[in-house]
Amino acid sequence: MYIGIDCGTQGTKAIVVDSVQKKVIGVGYAAHDLIEQSNGRREQHPNWWLDAFNQALSMALKQAQTSPHFSPRLVKGIGISGQQHGLVLLDEDDQPLYNAKLWCDTETADENAALIERLGGEEKAFHQLGIMCQTGYTASKLCWFRQHYPALFGRIRKIMLPHDYLNYWLTGNFGTEFGDASGTGYFDVVKRQWNPTVFSQIAPELNMEEVLPTLLSAETKLGMIKPDIAAQFGFNEYVVVSTGGGDNMMGAIGTGNIREGIATMSIGTSGTLYAYTHKPLQDLPPMIANFCSSNNGWLPLICVMNMTSSNKQVMNLLNIDVAEFNHLAQQAPIGSEGVMILPFFNGERVPPLPNEKARILGLDSSNFTQANLCRAMMESATFTLRYGLDLFRQAGLATSQIRLIGGGAKSVLWRQIIADVMNTEVVCLLEDEAAALGGAIQAMWTNGEGELDMLCEAFVHLDPDSRCFPHQENVESYEGIYQRYLAYLHSLH
């Protein structure tokens, strides 16, 4: 038995996987609160994640108890997936000094711009790291904290990412792996090491070797679960904790995206698109983050910050649920009769518009309907991801299939819109929780249950009923609408 945990923005998911039956036998979920302000602040307290971990895992174990021959003492390993980029700061007593600023926090846009300037501009910054620092990465959060809380800054003893924090709580070992470290903004993604020159620009008062976690390759055992936590859940004392990784890296493993030619698209609170490469790509556009993967390769990725979170804005406005939102969107035609939305409620990372606001465009007295608003939101969010896919194609990353994950992938209409806008086959997975599954698979790999490609083949299954192929007439219609979307974007610049 293996456990996968995914600590996301909205909540923590836990799954129990039977490695003999090769299936998930228990699932649990617990929601997180969110601190948010109109200035771009998005924060959570790290202890909320611990509470959610306990609730979600207890729920998953209770469900697994209904499976024949299950016992908590049969659990052999745990793998943690966590939302990327979040900043967790601990003091000398391992207590958080401040809330964790999250990946979607754009309050630090000015600090990010100032950091890039101190590093000599975008080109020199990119050369030092192999990646462009973006608002939302950990580096600008650390700069922000140093500026606003100088007294607390000097008390920092450990700097962590969300999944590192959960790993540290589970094992007491202070480590991280290359994939999640790639999104900090002070990690060299080509050499796979912390960059002391960049870190000294961010935190000159701190000793990098003391406050940053030890770097580990993806198949490494981080450690064993602490005895008190093992006793709490009824585990034996030899439960292995793998290195884990960022949610996108674990989602890649959980969708079988460990070889070239496959792309994973996540439609959750945010949207991501990523594809595996066995070596770092050269001359990538700066908006593509050339992250390391959590299987010792690379995972070029683009992230957009407004996906299902944008749909939720319309649902709140109209006081409707997801089912009604999808029903209304289905009633509107392709193009939403000219209504278009720039869905930048949280600013945007790709394209780089951290301080931009959302806009509804093209309204007139005949097209201002609930149905058009719902479909326009769905289409416009898709266009933002298409913008990222175009960057991939320009960089020579060919994709024959897009594997969809996240809550938005459950919408049949949205799947078809994506296939038509991207002009590519799309398919979902039989297992919904790809990032948590990726964590469990990585734990099996770490614990010697087999090679990663064999484990992915055994545990990752496509859903044949979910396949959508592009309809050529729709592809042509959307191409013109997408060009209009690009024109709106250019007008912002």
Residue 455 lies in a domain: no
Of 211, 243, 275, the last residue of a domain is 243
| Same domain membership, residue 390 and residue 346 | yes
Q: Is residue 444 part of a domain?
A: no
Q: For the segment 333-348, what is each residue's pLDDT rounded down to a tens digit?
A: 999 999 999 999 988 8
Instruction: Tell me how far apart the alpha carbons of residues 341 and 376 are, in angstroms, rounded to a whole number.
Output: 6
pLDDT tens digits for range 1-13: 999 999 999 999 9
pLDDT tens-digit map of 137-149: 999 999 999 999 9
Q: Are residues 23 and 140 in the same domain?
A: yes
CATH of the domain at 320: 3.30.420.40
Q: What's the chain's average pLDDT?
A: 95
Q: What per-residue confidence (pLDDT) applies to 354?
A: 85
Q: Domain for residue 434, yes or no?
A: no
Residue 84 marked in a binding site? yes
Q: What is the pLDDT of residue 82?
A: 97
* Residue 401 annotated as binding site: no
Greater pLDDT, 69 or 449 = 449
pLDDT in tens, 32-90: 999 999 999 999 999 999 999 999 999 999 999 999 889 999 999 999 999 999 999 99
- Residue 141 covered by a domain: yes
Percent of the chain residues topping a pLDDT of 90: 86
Residue range 381-410, pLDDT digits in tens: 999 999 999 998 888 888 889 999 988 999
Residue 339 Cα distances to 90, 329, 376, 383, angstroms: 47, 12, 6, 13
Using a cut of 0.85, tell me whether the model's pTM lies above it.
Answer: yes
pLDDT (tens digit per residue) in 405-437:
988 999 999 999 999 999 999 999 998 899 999
pLDDT tens string 193-202: 999 999 999 9
Taking phi over 0 as left and psi of -120 to 50 as alpha, with beta for the rest, 335 belongs to left
Backbone φ and ψ of 179, nearest 5°: -60, -55
Same domain, 14 and 160: yes
Are residues 217 and 305 located together in one domain of the fold? Answer: no
Per DSSP, the three-state class of 399 is: coil
Assigned domain for 228 exists: yes
Q: Say if CB 97 and CB 258 are below 8 A apart.
A: no
Average pLDDT on 157-186 reads 97
Q: Is the pLDDT of residue 205 over 70?
A: yes
Domain carrying residue 322: 256-428+463-492
Specify the amino acid at residue 163: H
Indicate whether 366 and 417 sit together in one domain. yes
25 occurs within a structural domain: yes
pLDDT at 479 exceeding the cut of 80: yes
Q: Is residue 325 part of a domain?
A: yes
Structural domain count, the chain? 2
Same domain, 79 and 222: yes
Mean pLDDT on 306-317 = 94
Whether the per-residue pLDDT at 481 is higher than 70: the answer is yes
Within this chain, do residues 224 and 355 fall inside the same structural domain, yes or no? Answer: no
Q: What's the CA gap between 148 and 104, in Å, rounded?
A: 19
Task: For residues 124 and 197, give the distance between their C-alpha atoms in angstroms, rounded to a whole number.
Answer: 12
* Catalytic site residue from 105, 247, 420, 432: 247
Low-confidence winner among 131-140, 167-176, 333-342 (lowest mean pLDDT) = 131-140
**Residue 440 within any structural domain of the chain:** no
- Give dist(CA 138, CA 120) in Å, integer: 19
Does the pLDDT value for residue 493 go beyond 80?
A: no
Indicate the residue among 243, 264, 284 that finishes a domain: 243
Give 255-288 pLDDT, tens digit per residue: 999 988 889 999 988 899 999 998 888 778 888 9
Q: Is 247 a catalytic residue?
A: yes
Domain finish residue from 177, 210, 243? 243
113 and 208 assigned to the same domain: yes
Residue 318 and residue 184 in one domain:
no
Task: Output the pLDDT for position 338.
Answer: 97
- Is 263 within 8 Å of 392 (Cβ atoms)? yes
Q: In which band, very low, low, confident or very high, does the pLDDT at 305 lie, cut at 50, 70 and 90?
A: confident
Q: Which residues pair with 329 in a beta bridge?
A: none
Say whether both 141 and 276 belong to one domain. Answer: no
Tell whether the model's pLDDT for residue 110 goes beyond 80.
yes
Nearest to 24 by CA among 443, 441, 345, 398: 441
* 292 closest CA partner among 303, 301, 302, 283: 301
Alpha helices in 246-398 (DSSP H): 247-254, 308-318, 322-331, 370-394
Same domain, yes or no, for 93 and 228? yes
Residues 189 and 338 in one domain: no
Burial 25-60 (b: 16+ CB within 10 A, else e): bbbbbbebeeeeeeebbbbbbbebbbebbbbbbebb
What is the CA 18 to chain-centroid distance, rounded? 25
